[in-house]
Amino acid sequence: MATAAKTPTKAKAAAKTAAKEAPSKSVKAKKPVMGTRTIQVDELSRVEGEGALFVRVKDGVIKECHFKIVEPPRFFEAFLKGRSYLEVPDITARICGICPMAYLMGAQQAMEDALGITITQPIRDLRRIMYCGEWIESHVLHAAMLHAPDFLGLDDALQLAATNKAVVEKALRLKKLGNDLLEVIGGGRAIHPINTRVGGFYKVPTKKALRGMMDELKWGIEASIDLAKLFGTFTFPDFEYDYHCVALHHPDHYAIVEGDVISNRGIHIPVREFHQVFQESHVSYSTALHGSSRGDNEPYLAGPNARYNLNYKQLTKLAKQTAKEIGLGEVVNNPFKSILVRMVETVYACEEALRLIKAYEEPDVAFVEGRPRASEGFGMTEAPRGVCYHSYKLDSEGRVLKAVISSPTAQNQPQIERDLYGVVERSLDLDDEALKQRCELTIRNYDPCISCSAHFLNLTMVRE
């Protein structure tokens, strides 16, 4: 069942039909180089986790193009079996140190769904503020510290700090703002926060503590607009793809923590039906499962660009205005511009957290209790890098019988390979080093979280 292990011919055909090739400004197409060419990156840097890339080209034709996840498997779905529903969110948080919220809250939602718990509006709001914190912290880490150096030809943000310290300091302060939101509500730490639980929180944060974040959030709105404008001056490779975008959608606001699953190809389903429409399969070269849609076994896109394309209308006026000023339309199909979309979402997240904090009143009840029962529950949130799905079957004591978790990077892995295929095809006239860098940049567009998906990257390029 090699649903996602795209055969080169299939990928090629799809890339040709789907990708709109824009005229290349800097490089003229040359005759294909005859012979074998291999591009291999065995340790991909500036990504979260361990991955590798292997590309083999024969007589100018791409024969193999794999984005491999080599992170050692950790078997979360297996050892969750038999654990109490109350323990699950804290355990799944350990799947990822960058986006623990996606695992805490996805699992909490699923358990609440299973037990029939309805959480209160203040708990909902506190979760959304925390998640805004995670978007800010994760987006700024990726955009400014990990992705921006690619566009500047630098090894890392520290080299950027040597020439433009103010920018790095601004990014660090903004990232800290995200972490501070997580700490204030999460019980004192941003990585694996301890204050969240099934049904709500152990202790509600005080109005005073949250109001203490307001000035910094006001600064954060301005700072994220500044960074967005700076990144807007970068040169982006010409590449567009007709993506099948998949994201959460909520009628009331730009979806983060809750909503239905929608796509730009007419899908609109509740979260519980997600795996009836999308699937994961296991390929030989990866410890992550590959996601695809069941109907056509084709890849789909999750993450900032998918969210932006589907829910643009629900962004704030200021976020839309920032997008316009940095040259983004209402639809972004250039994956390299995800860095800009992340900053637009950061503007939004700062504004949204500020709005919710202004309206915050301490609730009387920190959490809503539930009674265990034999049941099944589903949860999904928008991790910074895309939708993260959870489903659990529980026994009558609330112990896990079956756990299924789909991380955003596993879902995106086949689409990453499609993008790579298209990018390599258009860039064969680059020398190996430049092509390798272009490939790495293509992968970083996705802010891949490899620890999550293996439950990232080595590039191997073979030119024959």
Partner 1 sequence: MTEAAKKKVVKAAPKAAKAPVAAKLARAKPKVAVWKFASCDGCQLSLLACEDELLDVVGEIEIAYFLEATTAKIDGPYDISLVEGSITTEHDLHRLRKIRQESKMLITIGACATAGGIQALKNFAKVDDYIRAVYDHPEFIKTLPTSTPIKDHVPVDFELRGCPINKAELLEAISALLNKRTPNIAHTSQCIECKKKGTVCLMVAKGVPCLGPVTHAGCGNLCPSTNRGCFGCFGPSESANGPALAKQLEKLGMTKREIRDFFRSYNAHAAAFRKTSEMYDV
Question: Contact residues for partner 1 (CB under 8 A)?
Answer: 1, 43-50, 71-79, 81, 83-84, 87, 90-91, 94-98, 100, 141, 145-146, 149, 155-159, 161, 165, 168-169, 172-173, 175-176, 179, 187-192, 194-195, 197, 202-203, 281-285, 287, 289, 366, 451, 455
CB of 128 to partner 1, least distance (A): 20
CB of 51 to partner 1, least distance (A): 10
Bridge-based pairing of strands 386-394 and 375-383 is: antiparallel
CB of 113 to partner 1, least distance (A): 22
CB of 285 to partner 1, least distance (A): 8
Question: 3: Cβ–Cβ under 8 A, 6 or more apart, which residues?
Answer: 279, 281, 290, 292, 297
CB of 396 to partner 1, least distance (A): 14
Bridge-based pairing of strands 400-406 and 386-394 is: antiparallel
Q: CB-wise, 79 or 215, nearer to partner 1?
A: 79
Euclidean distance between CA atoms 78 and 147, whole angstroms? 34
CB of 321 to partner 1, least distance (A): 28
DSSP summary character for residue 72: P
Q: Tally the residues of the chain.
A: 464
Q: CB-wise, 20 or 203, nearer to partner 1?
A: 203
CB of 161 to partner 1, least distance (A): 6
Q: For residue 24, give the 3-state DSSP assignment.
A: coil
CB 383 within 8 A of CB 389: no
Q: CB-wise, 202 or 329, nearer to partner 1?
A: 202
Q: CB-wise, 73 or 212, nearer to partner 1?
A: 73
Q: Which helix (H) or strand (E) holds 387?
A: strand 386-394
Place of tokens 């804290």: 90
Q: CB-wise, 1 or 29, nearer to partner 1?
A: 1
CB of 26 to partner 1, least distance (A): 22
Question: 312: Cβ–Cβ under 8 A, 6 or more apart, which residues?
Answer: 320, 330, 331
What is the gyration radius of the CA atoms in the chain, in angstroms? 22
Q: Which helix (H) or strand (E) holds 380?
A: strand 375-383
Q: CB-wise, 7 or 22, nearer to partner 1?
A: 7
CB of 141 to partner 1, least distance (A): 7
Euclidean distance between CA atoms 244 and 306, whole angstroms? 8
Enumerate the β-bridge partners of residue 391: 378, 404
Euclidean distance between CA atoms 63 and 13, whole angstroms? 13
Q: CB-wise, 30 or 189, nearer to partner 1?
A: 189
CB 306 within 8 A of CB 318: no
Q: CB-wise, 432 or 464, nearer to partner 1?
A: 432
Q: What angle do CA 264, 266, 267 make, to 5 degrees?
A: 100
Euclidean distance between CA atoms 353 and 178, whole angstroms? 10
CA distances from 387 to 4, 233, 304, 347, 361 (A): 18, 29, 10, 20, 30
Q: CB-wise, 185 or 247, nearer to partner 1?
A: 185
CB of 435 to partner 1, least distance (A): 15
Q: CB-wise, 316 or 406, nearer to partner 1?
A: 406
